[in-house]
Amino acid sequence: EDKVVQSPLSLVVHEGDTVTLNCSYEVTNFRSLLWYKQEKKAPTFLFMLTSSGIEKKSGRLSSILDKKELFSILNITATQTGDSAVYLCAVEQYGQGNLIFGKGTKLSVKP
């Protein structure tokens, strides 16, 4: 059965801390792995990863994929209260192009 597992499920840190969110997967016909940030109604897209070992970076956020070990990490450095959100990981499959979501990591950043 295809699955995406995120850890931890929730995390509380203080401003300025660095956090690492994990996403592991067992999915057939892997095409890409996507990270989303969900604050309000709809998740917003962060990164799409297709190749192993190539870091994608956007400001204080970065992500990398390991297709051999079947996982990805999302790093957030110098966290701010505005980073508080649920972070979703999803794997896209070839063929049907289905998206399989993890259950998310709820990050709370305290001032």
Partner 1 sequence: SQTIHQWPATLVQPVGSPLSLECTVEGTSNPNLYWYRQAAGRGLQLLFYSVGIGQISSEVPQNLSASRPQDRQFILSSKKLLLSDSGFYLCAWNLQGPDTQYFGPGTRLTVL
Shortest distance, position 96 Cβ to partner 1, whole Å: 5
Per-residue contact track with partner 1, 64 to 103, x per CB under 8 A?
A: ---------------------xx-x-x-x---xxxxxx-x
Strands 105-110 and 10-14: what pairing? parallel
Close Cβ partners of 38 (under 8 Å, ≥ 6 residues apart): 44, 85, 86, 87, 88, 104
Site for partner 1 in 15-34 (CB under 8 A): 31-32, 34
- Report the DSSP beta bridge partners of residue 44: 37
Amino acid identity for residue 3 in this structure = K
The contact set with partner 1 (CB under 8 A) reads 31-32, 34, 36, 38-45, 48, 85-86, 88, 90, 92, 96-101, 103-104, 106
